[in-house]
Amino acid sequence: MRTIGLLLRQRARRDAVSLAVWLAGLAALAVAGYPGVRSSYGDEQERVALLGTVMANPVVLLFRGLPSGAGEAQMVAFLLLPWLLLLVALMCSFLAVRHTRGDEEDGRLELVSATAAGRTAPLVATALHGVGASIVAGAVVAVIFVASGAPPVGAALIAAGCTLAGTVFLGVGLVSAELMPTSRAANALAVWLVVGTFALAGTGNALGTPSADLTRMTSSALAWFSPFGWAENTRPFDTDDAWPLAASVLATLVLLGGAALLHARRDLGASFVPPRTGRAAARPGFATHLALTVRQSRAAGIGWIVAGLLVGILSTSLAGVASRIGEGNPAVTSLLQALSGTSADLSRGLIVVFFVMLGIFAACAATQTVLRARQDETQGTAELVLGGGLTRTRWLADHVVVAAACAVLTIAAGIAGAAAGALSGGTDADLIRAAAVAGAGQIVPACLFAAWAAVLVVALPRTAIALAWALVAIAAVIALFGPLFGLSTAVVNASPFASGPVPTGEGVDPRGIVPLLVVAAVGVAAALGGMHRRELVA
């Protein structure tokens, strides 16, 4: 027990910054909930009208929770609960991989295993550390909701849902780390499982059965295959049913037990999914570091491009439906215009909202690619490459170039998907132009995050990964939820995603494209100049 206690303290010190950032983001989202609903939907008739619109167009439930009534607290849960669960799930899955497969790659786990701790204690300490982080996350949400005036029972149920979502995906991360040969592959598997189950719950809700008064939705069976669906079906502030969380408890125990069994049956450094063997000699096309960077980023980039394609298809496929539903419903019209930051018609407003999400995906692709440089630096592979005569500036520049290319290709896939959705649905051909403008407007914001990530890799290498992802998360929350929560225009426009050019009824509103270009250019120049002056940092 003493050894596990030491390992727990070591993990708490290492994760102090990253966990603080995750919890701060979680708290900010929870704090904004009640004031936002009161300012946007203070009248019950407005909430009933909005829920009626959602029932008429249930695809909206892909990105929202399970409707459980038109009360103020129920509306907060409907709008926020899936995103609170998503943040905790990602936090715990990353934590699990970092302290298992990540430490194994860095050689840290081999050193610890050579002590009295052995091989099992680090895994146990990581599991306890993740459970503790999940409990703290749930407590933060509960305290904020109760302080905002929410009923304590419902707040406790949301907290329990967040905590158990964290423990379930902690188990997912631990199992992924045992299965996959690298931390990147393990994180990718865990993230895709998080996103997949998030979409599964949303699809299950969308295929559900609405109540007669159109204020509640009964999930279809599909939602019950997702931890997000289990938490949402507790219906906090409505029926307050705790029993669906029993599935989360069972899944946590199965996953943690499975991770322990897998861990006991493999050697240090091995994996159940073996790494692919490479060629004895590289192809001529891989003679440059730029080509090597493309090769290393290819798998993750394809994943983001596919996600962008799906977002694009949804944007124009739903635009016509939104336009028909919004006619005569001022609440829906004002909501979409606020979220899109434009006074254009509903169909174009919805496209802008979807392409903000596409910009977030592109920024994630770009950030992940740049941060690969930092991972190569800590793992020692950067030193091997630089030993061949490549300069540090060129080494970082190649990552930035590939990151920008990933962002552009993700957005291009979204535009292509939007065109396909518009043509297949027989909607207005002008929507293709609107999608092209909205997509092009997200290229610079997405590339800006690549520049910021490069600056952090140079200036604050040891905290670069946590801070870079924190910037993306904060900007995404402000862009997606700022108008909904009644934040001022100045605050919303502080997010690059909300400052790109958008289509208007007659042309294009350039908004803040020039400042974004200047900041991105300055960031890239500062990062490359700084990299020329600093040495590699482990």
Q: Which residues have CB under 8 Å from 518's CB, separation 6+?
A: none
For the segment 3-32, the average pLDDT, to the nearest whole number, is 89
The residue that leads in pLDDT, 390 or 248, is 248
Rg (CA), the chain: 23
The residue that leads in pLDDT, 281 or 386, is 386
The confidence score (pLDDT) of residue 324 equals 54
Round to whole Å and give the CA distance between 444 and 510.
12
Q: Which of 286, 102, 83, 320 is nearest to 190 (CA)?
A: 102
Q: Which of 59, 32, 335 is nearest to 199 (CA)?
A: 59
For the segment 197-204, the average pLDDT, to the nearest whole number, is 90
Round to whole Å and give the CA distance between 513 and 519.
10
Given a cut of 90, is residue 486 above it in pLDDT? no
Q: Whole-number mean pLDDT of the chain?
A: 86
The residue that leads in pLDDT, 89 or 473, is 89
Given a cut of 80, is residue 429 above it in pLDDT? no
The confidence score (pLDDT) of residue 397 equals 94
Percent of the chain with pLDDT over 70: 92
Tell me the two tokens of residue 324.
């028909």
Q: Which of 24-33, 111-120, 157-166 has the lowest mean pLDDT?
A: 111-120
Q: Which of 276, 270, 273, 258 is nearest to 105 (CA)?
A: 270
For the segment 436-461, the average pLDDT, to the nearest whole number, is 93
Tens of pLDDT, residue by residue over 41-55, are: 777 887 887 787 777
For the segment 487-505, the average pLDDT, to the nearest whole number, is 82
The confidence score (pLDDT) of residue 35 equals 78
Round to whole Å and give the CA distance between 463 and 424.
46
The residues with which 502 forms a beta bridge, in sequence order, are 509
pLDDT band at residue 262 using 50, 70 and 90 as cut-offs: very high
Cβ(96)–Cβ(130) under 8 Å?
yes
For the segment 27-39, the average pLDDT, to the nearest whole number, is 81
Other Cβ atoms closer than 10 A to 430: 14
The confidence score (pLDDT) of residue 228 equals 96
Given a cut of 60, is residue 203 above it in pLDDT? yes
The confidence score (pLDDT) of residue 313 equals 87
Alpha helices, H only, 341-391: 346-379, 381-386
The residue that leads in pLDDT, 105 or 133, is 133
Given a cut of 80, is residue 224 above it in pLDDT? yes
Given a cut of 60, is residue 132 above it in pLDDT? yes
Round to whole Å and give the CA distance between 317 and 310.
11
Cβ(164)–Cβ(133) under 8 Å?
no
Tens of pLDDT, residue by residue over 170-179, are: 999 999 999 9
- Hey, where are the domains in the chain? 1-270, 286-538
Given a cut of 70, is residue 494 above it in pLDDT? yes
Q: Would the pTM of this model clear 0.85, i.e. be above it?
A: no
Percent of the chain with pLDDT over 90: 41
The confidence score (pLDDT) of residue 344 equals 53
The confidence score (pLDDT) of residue 321 equals 58
Round to whole Å and give the CA distance between 306 and 438.
18
Given a cut of 90, is residue 149 above it in pLDDT? no
For the segment 8-23, the average pLDDT, to the nearest whole number, is 89
Cβ(361)–Cβ(304) under 8 Å?
yes
Round to whole Å and give the CA distance between 352 and 223.
28
Tell me the two tokens of residue 163.
């905590």
Round to whole Å and give the CA distance between 288 and 480.
40
Given a cut of 60, is residue 527 above it in pLDDT? yes
Instruction: Look up tokens 């295993």; give the residue.
Output: 113
Tens of pLDDT, residue by residue over 301-334, are: 998 999 899 888 888 877 655 555 555 555 555 5
The confidence score (pLDDT) of residue 58 equals 64
The confidence score (pLDDT) of residue 258 equals 95
Phi, psi torsion values for 422, nearest 5 degrees = -65, -45
